[in-house]
Chain A
Amino acid sequence: MTEVYLNHKFVGTVENPQQFTQSIIDERRKGTIPTNLNVLYDEVSDNVIIENDGGRVRRPVIVVKNGTPLLTEKHLQQLNKGEISWSDLVKQGVVEYLDATEEENTLIAFTKEELTKDHTHLEISPIGLLGLTTTLVPYSNYSPSARINAGSKNQKQAIGLYAANFGLRMDMDVNLLHTPQIPIVKTVMHDLSGYNKHPCGQNVVVAVMSFKGYNMEDSIIINKGSVDRGMGRSTYFRPAIAEELRYAGGLTDEIATPDKDVKGYKSEKDYRLLEGDGIIYPEAQIKEGDVIIGKVSPPRFLSGADEYSLTSNVKRESSLSVAHGEQGIVDCVLITESEEGNKLVQVRIRDQRIPEIGDKFTSRHGQKGVVGLIIEQSDMPFTASGIVPDLIFSPHSIPSRMTISHMIELLAGKVGALGGRFIDGTTFDAEPEDVLRKELLELGFRDNGVEAMYNGESGKQMQARIFVGNIYYLKLKHMVSNKIHSRGRGPIQLLTRQPTEGRAKEGGLRLGEMEKDTFVAHGASLLLKERFDSDKTIVPVCEQCGMIAVYNEFKKRSYCPNCGENVDISHIEMAYAFKLMLDELKSLGVYPKLNLKTKY
């Protein structure tokens, strides 16, 4: 007697489990039982497991009977003509969905060729084991899985045409490639996914060589001429949003150019771009500090003693201005209403991004790199036929990563570009390399893709032949201009008096604990002290009780709150953070007494 479980609940027993499960499968293929049901006879535990719960991961495979798939030429013809659809195949039992449970007792052939009598199913396509972006990597069956993974992840960060209606949208932080191209070397997924309608890269000529050390450690060198002609040029869009908020007591913000008597008024120059309604005009060139949307807010309650004084009800400036280190052109202005019915102003800022040193580029094979140098076209090396590469890629990036697909794409791209056709690089089903080589030979080039090249500066022929080819390159959204940051002096935190953190707050770069250790290890004690001087303060300390004393600037006198005026009070230099710790110790009920003595 074999026990039968439906969704992990015991429902009964059967005499002949094999026959029982087979009949369920047969009925399901006929369509009398729902197709979302899966069944397994587990011989080890002697149980029949039936599942039709939600949440199972299932995948479609072609049913095989006696070594021949049920999907026939006839089906394919009908599919092509549009007479039948996918769901018809499922209904007919030609294709069925398996879950992890039922898969246990099946033998699924990877390709049609390896089908035997024992096989129960056939994979619809070998690329079924890859995801959508992974199938976008051409010749990926020639590279290690880790690189294919990296390659497909990189494609998600590529700049392209993300939406055709971008002009009407107010997206946060988007990029748009100016002249995207359809890849020469593509896979079936490019056609299936409509990639050609929204491509996100460009076909470039790449020479694989070292060049003066400017492409070491995964950096790349690009041709100034190519950049001038529009390679990798993109636009960055970012909205500035301001809302007329309402406060308690009927007070509201007001979007307008602030009056001069408003608290926190900036200089007149900063407001120069605002029009009568307090909003900037389209196509205005804006730089750091310029006000985009002028706004005044009612005074904040109980904030600081100065607001109690004379001018009681002065409004507060709260305009939106261009952030530190940013620039651009106002693209469009949108005035609308927020969900709460407040006036909402959105200004889209656009900034043209021409490739510069530090911008990130990648091929589709996990070979990402950063621009290390941009050189004049006249100084670039060139081939005998006068081809000047758009990009120089370092050969050192290849051996350790074993991205053979990258090399094959270079070759295939070259064939495609010279032969004027697209190359199919679908995983497991691509145009074979030797065919491409033959074609390249017929086109009048060396079949291994190398060419004699000449030094662009001296005109001398190079000793080695250089591997040159065409490859699809993607510009990634990580650009230096969004990340570059440095600081000499700048804002500090209120509590600790140490520099703020992060680029947005114009913060300092932290010299952390481990970095500190290196200073100590070198014995550079005095330098170490200097580096930690950012929150240096001078504090009066009572020599009798060892606590922080008070110094009165007006009277030029100091006294100790504990011991009075007739004590010695010394001015001690210490880190403000340490003074803060002393205060915290006091709040703990611990008395931190400073015993002072002369250092010298």
Chain B
Amino acid sequence: MANAHTSTFSAFKATLKRDLLIAYKRKNDVVNPFMFFLIVASLFPIGVSPEPERLSLIAAGVLWISALLAALLAMDNLYRADYEDGSLEQLLLSPHPLFFMVLAKNIAHWLVSGLPVVLVSPLIAYMLSLPDGSYHVLFLSLLLGTPVFSLLGSIGVALTVGLGSRGLILAMITLPMSVPVLIAGTLAVQQTQNGASLLGFLAIMGAMLLFALTLAPLASAAALRISVN
């Protein structure tokens, strides 16, 4: 009876499509983190100072922290509904490696929560008076860094999805793991302004992304198995 089974790739595609479809139908879940990002980033000129000289010093940090908080806000959608309606059990019982199913969900999640933030970041950077030569650095580093937030956050959500009241646990698990990405991302923007080579930073962030891509779904998969137990 094993003849008509799907390849892992088509199960991967089916899962990716399904999650994108759910995101499309639940627009709130997509729009909320994005709006949160815009609001947090635009509070800084009001709260700190509207002077371009001061803002340009903190612009990169502000954007990165806002992106991280927006990613955290979006995180909970990742497995919660599936856990509650039993879809997660179906995912765990599929004959395909859970690694790829988790990866599909993570990619879908980044496409709807991370990518919009990356795309709009140059606009917010302009508002925060980011120095002229830094836009492409910021954009590229966010492009490499925000998927890592999704992949790492997935571990935290997978661990806490079975808990009734989660409160701050998710943030306490996820944020410390995200700090290296935050450091590399903001340093990349600041140091290239002082003449450092961009490639080095991109290489480090690319390595972080590859590391997260290969290992984080394994951890998420193991955590999910524990959570449904």
Q: Are A and B subunits of one complex?
A: no
